[in-house]
Chains A and B, each alone.
Chain A
Amino acid sequence: MNTAAPVPAPASLADSALPAGGIFAALRWSLVRDLKVAMRSRSELGVQLLFYIIVVSLFPLASNPERTLLAAIGPGVLWVAALLASLLSLPRLFAGDYGDGTLEQIALSPHPLEALVSGKILAHWLTAGLPVTLLAPLLGIQYAMDGESLAVLAAALLIGTPILSLLGGIGAALTLGLRGGGSLLALLILPLYVPVLIFGAGAVEAVRAGLGATANLSLLGAGLLVAMVGAPFAAAAAVRIALD
């Protein structure tokens, strides 16, 4: 036991001012760390994706296998499954860090908490929303959707799933430390997901009706911008409340 090893000489014990690198260093810190943790627990990610694939694949088995019917319900089913998959993975956004005490260290860091939270939400989207988006065109084939519909579906998911992660981040932070937080989270967040669902699934419907998806996709994009500006602040405030 080498207890006599020298302690590194204290360079300075002065209070550190705001750390160098600012918000981007903070965002990168939580993004990189959360992705690393997610990659080390890949099985959990796999289970969530498998859930998505299975839910989407159940509908064609359970309903009338008529091509026009399937093509009509397809976008809605894919979107609802994406919502549920996002919801399933939300608890791990903050609960792990809350349980092992890391969230306290994050909240006490001199970095802006909003930036650290944004990095975590981005990591959540990369591990939950992005895989769902990439798989959707493949799964859409089961619903006899044509090429244009599949492309619009993927585009709508690409814009819409980050909104799910951002809004979900607020809900996940608000339900931290509550008993039965998971089901409360669903009750809290699913109603907020409704506009995303309507415009997202509506984009494909509009294409099928010959109207073009521009209006729906623009509204989704506007929603994404609003969520990107507002959600990190709301989630950071909720984290501070949860720690109090």
Chain B
Amino acid sequence: MLEAHNLSAERGATRLFSDLSFKVGTGEALMITGANGTGKTTLLRMLAGLSAPAAGEIRWRGQIVKPFDPRLRGAVAFAGHPIALKDELTAEENLAAAAALSGEPASPDAVRSALEVVSLSRQRSLPARVLSQGQRRRIGLARLTLVRRVLWLLDEPVTALDAAGTALLARLVGEHVQTGGLAIAATHTPLILPQVRLHSLALA
């Protein structure tokens, strides 16, 4: 269970949001919507433990977590706007490196099946540099399935994905949430998630 209590954020002198409180429990998803510049990414980065809120607190499983808290680092899969791929490494190498970084090294077979899930088996030994934006996004999805984390934080996950990719994303998020995970996504295009307890939060 992730709780936010009276969170507020400032960017320079302007206040992005204040007194924001919400709860996301196991098996639930939260969609954060809002116009550009309303603080969606800032909120996600706070929840990931990358930056500190100007005021308020974040609780993970009932305990207050500060930025870079080890308890949160072991639970969060953060998919930020840059997709965190090394251009020089192949799709396979990128995924294997991401799995090892998360503390659970993946076997080559596991990496391959993760790439198969996102329909990138043929591109597995291509350097990430030559992949399209949508394909890079799909590797980001493969990383989410490979690095098993409870709390998914997704920043604009639909960007650059085609219709099939968007459907795949919705399916993966749905399955994740139904198997006891939590998902929080900041997005302009709402994901269609049937059979999921979906909360929404509009920032203004």
Chain A residues with CB under 8 Å of chain B are 1-3, 5-8, 10-20, 25, 29, 33, 36-37, 40-41, 96, 99-102, 104-111, 113, 240, 243-244
Of the residues B68, B89, B93, B179, contact of A107 by C-beta under 8 Å: B68
Chain B residues with CB under 8 Å of chain A are 48-52, 67-68, 70-71, 73-76, 78, 80-89, 93, 97-98, 100-104, 110, 113-114, 116-117, 119, 127, 145, 148-150, 164, 167-168, 171-172, 175, 179-181
Could you show 28 A-B contacts with beta carbons less than 8 Å apart? A1-B119, A2-B116, A2-B119, A3-B171, A6-B117, A8-B110, A8-B113, A8-B117, A8-B145, A10-B148, A10-B179, A11-B148, A12-B148, A13-B148, A13-B149, A15-B74, A18-B70, A19-B103, A29-B97, A100-B85, A102-B84, A104-B50, A108-B68, A109-B73, A110-B74, A110-B102, A240-B67, A243-B51
Q: For residue B52, which residues in chain A have a CB less than 8 angstroms away from its CB?
A: 244
Q: For residue B93, which residues in chain A have a CB less than 8 angstroms away from its CB?
A: 36
Contact A109:B101 (CB < 8 A) given known A104-B78, A104-B80, A244-B51: yes
Chain A interface SS verdict (over half): loop
Of the residues B48, B49, B117, contact of A7 by C-beta under 8 Å: B117
> B51 to A101, Cβ gap below 8 A?
no
> A19 to B104, Cβ gap below 8 A?
yes
Instruction: Give A16 to B150 CA distance when docked, in angstroms.
Output: 10
Chain B proximity of A108: nearest CB distance (Å): 5
Chain A proximity of B164: nearest CB distance (Å): 5
Given A17-B74, A19-B104, A102-B86; 19 other pairs, CB 8 A cutoff: A2-B116, A3-B164, A6-B117, A7-B117, A10-B179, A10-B181, A14-B150, A18-B70, A19-B102, A29-B97, A36-B88, A37-B86, A100-B84, A100-B85, A102-B84, A107-B50, A108-B48, A240-B67, A243-B50
Instruction: Give A2 to B83 CA distance when docked, in angstroms.
Output: 23
Q: For residue B181, which residues in chain A have a CB less than 8 angstroms away from its CB?
A: 10, 13
> A7 to B119, Cβ gap below 8 A?
no
Contact A41:B88 (CB < 8 A) given known A13-B148, A107-B68: yes
Contact A100:B82 (CB < 8 A) given known A2-B119, A244-B52: yes
Q: For residue A19, which residues in chain B have a CB less than 8 angstroms away from its CB?
A: 102-104
Of the residues A12, A108, A111, contact of B78 by C-beta under 8 Å: A108
> B119 to A5, Cβ gap below 8 A?
yes
- Please name the residue on chain B nearest to A14 by beta carbon: B150
Of the residues B50, B86, B103, B150, contact of A33 by C-beta under 8 Å: B86
Report the 5 A-B pairs with minimum CB-CB distance, sorted nearest first: A19-B103, A101-B82, A40-B88, A101-B84, A15-B74
Instruction: Give A13 to B179 CA distance when docked, in angstroms.
Output: 8
Q: For residue B73, which residues in chain A have a CB less than 8 angstroms away from its CB?
A: 108-110
- Please name the residue on chain B nearest to A12 by beta carbon: B148
Chain B proximity of A139: nearest CB distance (Å): 29
Chain A proximity of B177: nearest CB distance (Å): 11
- Please name the residue on chain A nearest to B61 by beta carbon: A15
Chain A proximity of B155: nearest CB distance (Å): 10
> B119 to A3, Cβ gap below 8 A?
yes
> A100 to B78, Cβ gap below 8 A?
no
Q: For residue A102, which residues in chain B have a CB less than 8 angstroms away from its CB?
A: 84-86
Instruction: Give A244 to B149 CA distance when docked, in angstroms.
Output: 22
> B117 to A15, Cβ gap below 8 A?
no
Q: For residue A40, which residues in chain B have a CB less than 8 angstroms away from its CB?
A: 88-89, 127
Contact A101:B101 (CB < 8 A) given known A8-B110, A12-B148, A244-B67: no
Instruction: Give A104 to B143 CA distance when docked, in angstroms.
Output: 15
Chain A proximity of B145: nearest CB distance (Å): 6
Q: For residue A3, which residues in chain B have a CB less than 8 angstroms away from its CB?
A: 119, 164, 167-168, 171
